Structures are given as structure tokens and as C-alpha cells.
Amino acid sequence: MGKNVLLIGASGDIGSAIAKALASEGYKLILHYHKNKQAIDRYRLNLNKESVLTEIQADLSVQSEVKQLLSGLVFPVDAIIFASGKAHYGLFQDSDEKIMDEMLALHVKTPWLITKHLLPAMIQNKQGKIIFITSIWGEIGASNEVIYSSLKGAQNSFVKSLAKEVAPSGISVNAVSPGFIDTKMNNHLLPIEKETITSDIPINRAGTADDVANAILFLINDKSSYIQGEIINVTGGW
């Protein structure tokens, strides 16, 4: 316990659930957010003040701001959790190139840069945890979410590949792949659409942000030390 965790995307529904879960177990948090400072402020009221080392604001689709984030990391980082990102809905043939570049930077290049920056210290210390929140669509794909699905597939491949490369140095790399989770990301769906999806889930309910956070707690714990390069589904059997 007491390890320092860089949480990328701490202001989202899943990010905030992860932050609360980690704080309850004694981890020290470095919280990244983009726009939603209010969310950070709200849930910090319920956290022990000693749980949060610092907050860093950055738009991770902009390379200059990624560099600012990295230069602002004054505390050692024992674990990284990538919980940030956004979906993009619409027909692939209607997708603007600017959106493609933004999504690629946010979901793929920025995690590369952050990981690359922090890996040397982890390798020197012979320990570290790197965890991604990916998506069920990264494995099976989704119509009208081709770009998002492709990028989550890239994250899955990165996890599997990097895990083999850094395992001899005592670093674990894994991912949690949520299915249909009841968060703001799915607010674009109509109630009837949510009901249809839920009816296809064997456990007969949508997942919660806490369901995802509980999986993260397991992976970041030393009890999961023999798990490496895995994409753990949190889907209710969907």
C-alpha cells in the first residue's frame, strides 16, 4: 500500500470510481483531468486529504500539453492507469480526418508517450504496474464506432506486446475491458436501446463504474503478480 498511482482520466465516471477505490486501500494518487475540474473537487471532498498528491490538467490530444503533463510529474510513479478517452459515433465514411488524428493521439500515441517516459524508472526499480481501460469493442468491433473500436484494439495489442517486453523487469501490463457500463458515455442511447442491450447481457444488468474499479484493484494488487498481458473482460457475460 502507499504506492503512487498516476490516474489518467480521473474526472470521468470510471476514473472517479477508481480513485475512490484506490484511496480506500491506501494508494497515493496523481490525478489527471482535462475539463471537468468540478468532478475532481466533488469526490475529493470524500477522500482523505493525504490520498491525493497532486492534480494535473491537460488535453491529451495535444502533444504540447502531454509534454507539460510529463514535466509536471514531480512524484515517483509506481503505477499508471489509463482511464481517459472518448467515443466517436457515426459512419466511418463520414469521419473527419481531424477527428481521426485527435482520437489516435488520445487513445494510442499519448499512452505510448506517457509509458515510455515512466518505464525507465520502473525498470530500474524492478517493479511497476501499467493498466489500461480498453473496451469490448476492441475485441469484437462495433458498427458506427469503427475508429473507437480500432483504437481500443490497438490498446489491447500494446498491452499484450509490452507485457512480454517488460515482464523480466518486474513490471506487469494488463487491461480491463468493460462491456456495457452505466456511465455518461452511454447517455446518447435511448432508454429502449439501453433496455435492448441489457436484455442481451446474461447477468441481466448494466455494469457499474465500481465493477470496473474492483477489477483495477485486483490488477494493481501484488496478489495478481502472475497475471501478465491479459485483457480481463468486465462484461457480465455479454
**54 alpha carbon, distance to own chain's centre:** 18
Q: How many residues does the chain have?
A: 238
DSSP string, the chain: ---EEEEETTTSHHHHHHHHHHHHTT-EEEEEESS-HHHHHHHHTTS-GGGEEEEEE--TTSHHHHHHHHHT--S--SEEEE-------S-GGG--HHHHHHHHIIIIIHHHHHHHHHHHHHHHHT-EEEEEE--THHHH--TT-HHHHHHHHHHHHHHHHHHHHHGGGTEEEEEEEE-SB-SGGGTTS-HHHHHHHHHTSTTSS-B-HHHHHHHHHHHHSGGGTT--S-EEEESTT-
| Residue 148 is a catalytic residue | yes
- Cβ-Cβ contacts under 8 Å for 185 (sequence gap 6 or more): 12, 13, 86, 87
Residues 33, 43, 89, 148: which is the catalytic one? Answer: 148
Residues carrying an active site annotation: 148
